[in-house]
Structure 1
């Protein structure tokens, strides 16, 4: 006799239909308990109903519940069960591929056929359908296989424009025995091949689900469906066929052919003999270190003992350690000072050194260089120390930063300078013989210049026994620095800060739900409204005191400034390197009574800068991370979490001069996840300029060997990439030694490719516009004020008035217009022009100085074998072509795209040289351009945004195809493969630029002409570079012939102008 049925509810999140089934079985159970099971008709009827119920129950358990509860199952390693008459159906927790159900029998006699473990009705064999993948695996990946399959073929029919591809299931039913129905569901597929897929099950829905799953399984096996359920329509070769571009065909008209022929004829007759007779071999370009150039710093006058005594108006923690510090330094040529924030090391240590000199050996040289990573720190410290000594800045204590100095050589003893300034000294004075002491402050920041300085100073210490070095920081790993400097002693100075109350996100006095949610994500971002809310709380509830807010970047500063400027009882100041020095100094000013000072800053305020009235610090915990991707060759800019060391430094800003409070807008858990220290920048930056400069510092030492001597060496693959790039630029030879051009370009404070572009401007006689463009677009600060999204559109309109196709020409002409107005000496007109164009006058002044410096470098660093000229500066296409000759970076336009394996036509897509999709920013004149008269756009700067998942280009210029062919530094070659029969019949060949993916279809004779004429230009170029950077011979005859070549190039590009 059939025993009583018992059903227990599953302890999981059930779907509604499964819950309904459970409820129905509970009702069935109660009915059975009240029935006489000897009544055979009732027993059979209820037994059959129970059978049907349990079949459905098992199917739902296998498909619905496993899918919806799989995450809970995997998290909780427990077994869920259905107890059926003491027979328990168990679910195995892991893995998903093995989801099965099995029976554990009790001693009770049970008819197992009533509870089948698998369908007793087998599915008809299908030759085209693989049975290898279990149904549940498909169902787990695609929880709704019918919807996925129907959507798949709907998209496919739209893409291939064939309505017959859409599908619907066909159903049939049959009664296999009395009261038991079986359903058959079929799909007739017409893609990728015509076939019929059929499945059978005990319900209509289950049959169609199984058939859809089998169809998806087939599509997966043949790589026709993506993980998102989208159709993968095209193979790679099909895509190539579909996307073969008509624009790649080059048609040279007769005039251009004649001009190219003229170039080859001039070369063969007048230039080639001179080139072939020249010996390009060069001698050692680097001077011996013992014969360094004399430095411009003179030995200062002696002013008497009182002039050099340390002045201490207030006592700081380091005051008690003055004598022990002086004594330790007298015994060692290098010491490490580990001074906690607020101890006074930056302002007092240089004074102690100066005072010790006057007591020990006043006849010896005493000049102390104190390096700072940022210019504002160098200037503010010089002012602070001079004020403390009651002296004018520059008299004994001064500063030197780029394009600005206040230091009197006759009387000065202590110079606060940026790390870059000291590196410039090392280029001409590698052993620093004009200095007695170097104080390397804020060493923990580990920027590129600091790491290079440590390496060079270590060598200088070994060679110059009169030099002493003090390495200082608040948060360095002192032992690591001690080990690097051969066991230098560590001098510890305890710091002093007033009591600081710290609040993390969980304990902030205001609710910040979005920030809390953000902390749990991978990519940090600023919730500006919640930062504003916290600022307002402090402002409205806390006693007087300035608020210092740390934010990642300029956009965050300006956005928050606009949110805060509605308050009349607060004054908002920004601290950023984009601002001129006088604007940055406003942060030190005292606000009027009743006005709260709010300072919005980046990590520039973490160290060295003491703002006396700061009481409250808001630390968002985020900074802007600029990492160079060596594989892609571009900068990747993203927000990133700061290190614990940075967090502690930010906290310390609140208690420098009085008790304070620090509000951290991140959780304690997030703080614990932060790295201890910020990674050294040498590991995350482009090494091209570093390797080039190292050749002078190291007397042509192998780059890997030199950089492996750093305290944290970069990866060898990154060094080799930089070396290869310098070889391609012809700045290093095959032996990795400096070429004459490379030695010349070291003095330019530009990336090597941009410095080379300046020289190219001289050779092609368009010097001034090239110098203007390179200077304007290489400066970090830019020339425009704060720009919002709507302001970017206005900026685009302003630039479009000066050029509709080129950001470079537009900005150059705006700068030239400003220069013209400035020379008229009508300041009101200049200011009005700046307001109308959103240009910032002080930024233009700064850039104008850089323009003059770069022009001066060209005059002083190049020999005068060829005069500097602007003969062809009016040819816009030549200017853009010369720009491309140095950068080698170009965007390629195409009118198609593949999105999720779907072909889109009549779209405008831009790709970089690495085949990454690029986005032009809204302020560009080429933003959302609909018509492209050329498929190539030259650009200088690109950044990769992982948040936006695209490469961003902020400035670009359309250039014609002929410019790409003639001015790319790589050679042209003819490829014989991949030609169609039609191409061969039309005498077409594939013309390729070596080392790039750029290929063109071209008439064979024209291709050969382009190859030879380009080779003629390149050989002539090589000869001129040799003369300008090394030989300096009389080349009058060559210059006359070169003039003819330039005239032909000028006409070719004029005929190819893009509008």
Structure 2
């Protein structure tokens, strides 16, 4: 028990002798005063206790150099050991009477003891600590300013070991008995390829297809044309189609038709709501039929998106009536309902589909009119189409082009086509009142903040949870919510046009797909966030950046125009009026802000003898030459173009694929290596995510991916397993089992349906490329095309061959920017610089990986950092054999060195060692095998029909 003082206070602890003050067991108050005076006897006694290096003069020098030595020691140990438990690494032991002796034992970086004396404990400890600091200084464990070094500096040996381990070649054990097998294989394959090559290459006959029906094109004889003209006239007279409702463009019909007849190119500047999309193509067709020229009239009408093409086709067919609706059709990706026959036909299609048709019919034989609607959107395909149409007009004197836009820069379009006429058509809109942010906040009793408003504009994957959010926010409204975005199937997109039940209000959550020519007649209110997600290309890092940016004023007008079509409405702009004034007049053309590999490949298909830079200089807005050179280099890297920019045999096969060139190469190689079905699934999933990947579901999706991945360390094998599992349940399981599968792995039924459609399309592409004898064989697991589909390492190797040089070097042991060494952390680097693994890849957060290399398809830049969204480990043998990289011998005996990446920033070497040095020829055969594989791929692409016949 203690003694309680007056007023129930605890007695004060006796002050220490040296300083007179309280002593805390947690914090030692260091003595910063002058040295303590001791008698001569005491000094002699003190010097007896100290080593020669610890004489009084040394102690005094140490104290002067390190005025706060105990604090410094503590900080050094904290930094060096990454721990706050520094008391375990140093112990102070003080003994003695009037003269205190302190022994400091330091357990880092090795065990050392330092002794000092003083007339009080605090000073003795300080002096001992100062001597310890002096020793650390001698060991170069303090910087020039007597401060702690970085954590990595205290672990130089570990950092060095990690670096050496990273640079150490990978040892691959190749059994010596493989020599004979490789030698025989090299001999047999070389002779076989030589025999096939000597037969010469078959020339494919140029086949022109009918742009309307897709069948081989055949021009009508004069007699056949007369018969069809008479038939069409009689058919239209009997049907006598009428206009369902009067639209503003109806009053300008004759003027529009007259200008189109007299000019080969016309720009229609039709205001929103004038009816140009549905009426002008019909006017042109009807005029030709009534003039007895219906047989020669075939009109293609492009729309920027699938939903527009399908909905407008349905609308026009409905207005023309049952007797004539067979003359109207549509063709979009994965779905086609063309007119029954050519002649008097009207086909609505997406720009991408028309570009595909131009490959087999470059001058558009048999087409009388091409109507390019919504030309103001200026996507990359539209700009390419305009350049190709300009060329086709020179070759096909019967072709006419009509460009239609509500908000575009029509004067520039006119100048691009040689000063063609511009026909302005006024529109009619019910009044739509603009409500800007300041007005809305004022009505809500709030003030607009000084800073710019932060507005969230959802991506397509965020729309479904937003429906739930809307339901929570406006519970007082009976709701009928519909999402609209490009990833929905055509059937699902059509539900947006349906009217809700009586007494319910419909809410449509849409991406900028709603800006195009779709009319949802019951839309009254539009809420415009004023932003959208926009891809841009960073030429330094060679990756795309996805950022939320302000839209242009023309976008605002388009969004506002979704209301007021059939009744008055209001447009709520979630930004102040001042922001509208600062927006650009028109959006930046996509061709100026995205990678150009697809565009260059398309250009080579349509104009094989032109340099990419020369061809793309002819488009409306020419991209930067450096961006074009980068695209050409990337296509040369994957073997699609040769050094002269000519299309290679492999490139001709890849050009048939309706996907990214790298994925196209992957599919071509998958057919050659007979493992095509998993790669079809992977390519489709990289085009459309199979997971229900919303903000709320991300953790569930990551968990599902981890389970599906197993020990594959590959996002791509996850995709393959997802699709193959779903296809198996579709064939064998019942509905409950399929629903359970979707729930277990957080999968999207709509997404998987779309992926199945993509797989079918890619199979057709492989058949068109003459890589498979029948398209359906690709999807049968027991077919010859899938003989090796169960070999995961082969699939990953083919992936690498397709995606190379998209390669990541993995290094274990990282020094952070703050100087901390993390031995178990990993860093990732491509040939363009450091990257980070996105949380969506299964390899994120792994403590160890079975390979030093990863391959990847997608990289995005956000907030100045490059993120890899999907990845897969790569076996070193795949790097050696399937990347067409430079292979040469090093000074070491029986070693082959592959220089995978060679830049100023990164050099990766793979050394293949041979177990049995008694087989010195093994190395030569192995290197030859690598060269032969590349030769086989190149020649197989050229002579594939002979190889499989």
Q: Same fold (TM over 0.5)?
A: yes
Give the corresponding residue for 1:957.
Answer: 872
CA offset at residue 366 of structure 1? 0.7
Distance 2:208 2:349 in 1: 25
Could you tell me which of 317, 323, 331 is aligned with 2:254?
A: 323
Map 1:72-151; keep pairs closer than 5 Å: none
Name the CA shift for 1:578/1:230 in 2 (closer, same or farther; >3 Å).
farther
Please state if 1:644 is matched with 2:553.
yes
For 1:999, what is the secondary structure of its paired residue?
strand
Distance 2:823 2:465 in 1: 37
CA separation of 1:310 and 1:515: change in aligned 2, threshold 3 A: farther
Q: Which residue of 1 aligns with 2:852?
A: 935
Report Cα offsets for 1:281-327 as digits up to 9, x if no partner: 99898978999998547777625233786632222221111111111
> 1:643, 1:1010 → 2: CA distance?
64
Q: 1:381 to 1:865 in 2, by over 3 A?
A: closer
Out of 310, 325, 341, the position equivalent to 2:272 is 341
Aligned position for 2:886: 971
Aligned to 1:822: 730
Equivalent residue for 1:1021? 933
Cα distance in 1 between the residues matched to 2:653 and 2:519: 41
Q: Which residue of 1 aligns with 2:119?
A: none
**Does the 8 A contact of 1:973 with 1:993 survive in 2?**
no
Partner residue of 2:479? 570
Per-residue deviation at 1:449?
Answer: 1.0
SS in structure 1 opposite 2:413?
A: helix
* CA positional deviation for 1:943: 1.8
Pick aligned residue for 2:815 from 878, 898, 901: 898
Matches for 1:520-919 after TM superposition, within 5 Å = 525-526=455-456, 551-566=457-472, 567=475, 569-777=478-686, 779=687, 781-797=688-704, 800-801=707-708, 803-805=710-712, 806-824=714-732, 826-862=734-770, 869-888=785-804, 889-914=806-831, 916-919=833-836
Contact 1:557 1:600 in 2 (8 A): yes
TM-superposed deviation, 1:663: 1.2
Q: Which residue of 2 aligns with 1:208?
A: none
Does 1:372 pair with 2:303? yes
SS at match of 1:565: helix
Q: Do the aligned partners of 1:367 and 1:434 also contact (CA within 8 Å) in 2? A: yes
Deviations along 1:800-846, whole A, 9 cap, x unmatched? Answer: 14634332223312211221221237344333432333323343233
Instruction: Return 5+ residue gaps in structure 2 as ranges.
Output: 1-69, 87-105, 109-131, 221-227, 775-782
Work out the CA distance in 2 between the residues paired with 1:512 and 1:727: 61
Return the offset for 1:438.
0.5
Alpha carbons of 1:890 and 1:959: their partners in 2 closer, same or farther (altered >3 Å)? same
Task: Confirm or deny: 8 A CA contact 1:616 1:660 kept in the other structure.
Answer: yes
Cα distance in 2, alignment partners of residues 865 and 790 from structure 1: 42
Conservation of the 8 A alpha-carbon contact between 2:671 and 2:772? no
Residue 508 of structure 1, CA deviation: 1.3
How far is the alpha carbon of 1:230 from its aligned partner? 11
Asked if residue 471 in structure 1 is aligned to residue 403 in structure 2, the reply is yes
TM-score by length of 1: 0.68
Native 8 Å contact 2:709 2:842 kept in 1: no
Partners of 2:599 and 2:354 lie apart in 1 by 15
> What residue number does 1:249 align with?
168
The answer on whether the counterparts of 2:208 and 2:360 sit within 8 Å (CA) in structure 1 is: no
1:506-525 matched pairs, under 5 angstroms: 506-509=438-441, 516=449, 519=452, 525=455
* Counterpart mapping for 1:985-1000 below 5 A: 992-995=899-902, 997-1000=906-909
* Alignment check: 8 A CA contact 2:339 2:346 kept: no
In structure 2, the CA distance between the partners of 1:1023 and 1:489, relative to structure 1 (3 Å rule), is: same
Deviation per residue, 1:868-888 (Å, 9 max, x gap):
533332221111111111112
Q: Please give the alpha-carbon distance, in whole angstroms, between the structure 2 residues aligned to 1:471 and 1:154.
A: 76
Contact 1:862 1:1028 in 2 (8 A): no
In the TM superposition, what whole-angstrom CA distance separates every residue of 1:378-408 from its partner, at most 9, and x where no partner exists? 0111112222233389512221111112223
Q: Distance in 2 between matches of 1:560 and 1:913?
A: 37
Residue in 2 aligned with 1:498? 430
CA 1:599/1:852 → structure 2, altered by over 3 Å: closer, same or farther?
closer
Displacement of 1:231 in angstroms is 7.3
Counterpart residue number, 2:122:
none
Is the Cα contact below 8 Å between 2:658 and 2:765 reproduced in 1? Answer: no
Match of 1:350 in 2: 281
Mapped to 1, the partners of 2:192 and 2:401 lie a distance apart of 53
Higher relative contact order (CA 8 A, sep 6+): 2
Separation of aligned partners in 2, 1:854 and 1:1002: 37
Pick which of 996-1005 and 936-945 moved more: 996-1005
- Cα 1:473–1:232 change in 2 (3 A) is farther
- Given that residues 940 and 955 in structure 1 are in contact (C-alpha distance below 8 angstroms), is that contact kept between their aligned partners in structure 2? yes
Aligned to 1:83: none
8 Å contact kept, 2:884–2:934: no
Following the alignment from structure 1 to structure 2, what is the Cα–Cα distance between the partners of residues 562 and 1000? Answer: 52
Match of 1:39 in 2: none
Distance 1:715 1:791 in 2: 38
User: Structure 1 residues 664 and 156, CA, compared in 2 at 3 Å: closer, same or farther?
Assistant: farther
Name the CA distance, whole Å, in 2 between partners of 1:604 and 1:322: 29
CA RMSD of aligned residues (A): 4.3
Q: Residues 786 and 1002 (structure 1 numbering): CA distance in 2 closer, same or farther, change over 3 Å? A: closer
Match of 2:96 in 1: none
CA distance in 1, matches of 2:925, 2:242: 71
| Mapped contact 1:518–1:525 kept (Cα < 8 A) | no
SS of residue in 1 equivalent to 2:280: helix
Output the CA distance in 2 between the equivalents of 1:153 and 1:969. 55
Distance 1:662 1:483, change over 3 A: same
| C-alpha separation in 2, matches of 1:667 and 1:975 | 67
Judged with a 3 Å threshold, the aligned counterparts in structure 2 of structure 1 residues 604 and 890 are, in CA distance, closer, same or farther, namely: same
> Which SS does the other structure have where 1:944 is aligned?
strand
3-state SS, counterpart of residue 663 of structure 1: strand
Q: How far is 1:570 from its partner?
A: 1.6
Q: 1:511/1:873 Cα in 2 relative to 1: closer, same or farther (>3 Å)?
A: same
Displacement after TM superposition at 1:263 (Å): 5.8
Distance 1:799 1:514, change over 3 A: farther
d(CA) in 2 for partners of 1:667, 1:242: 58
Deviation at 1:573, TM superposition (A): 1.4
How far apart are the structure 1 equivalents of 2:735 and 2:400? 49
Check conservation: 2:857, 2:870, Cα contact below 8 A. Answer: yes
| 1:69-112 Cα shifts (integer Å, max 9, x gaps) | xxxxxxxxxxxxxxxxxxxxxxxxxxxxxxxxxxxxxxxxxxxx
Indicate how the Cα distance of structure 1 residues 500 and 750 shifts in structure 2: closer, same or farther if over 3 A, else same: same
Correspondent of 1:416 among 322, 334, 348: 348
Higher deviation after alignment, 726-735 or 786-795? 786-795
Note the C-alpha offset of 1:660. 1.3
Q: Secondary structure at the match of 1:265?
A: helix
Q: CA deviation at 1:470?
A: 0.3
| CA distance, structure 1, for counterparts of residue 623 and residue 151 of structure 2 | 41
SS of structure 2 residue aligned to 1:637: strand
| 3-state SS of paired residue (2:163) | coil
For residues 953 and 438 of structure 1, the distance between their equivalents in structure 2, rounded to whole angstroms, comes to 41
Structure 1 portions without partners, runs of 5+: 1-149, 166-187, 195-214, 527-550, 977-983, 1040-1059
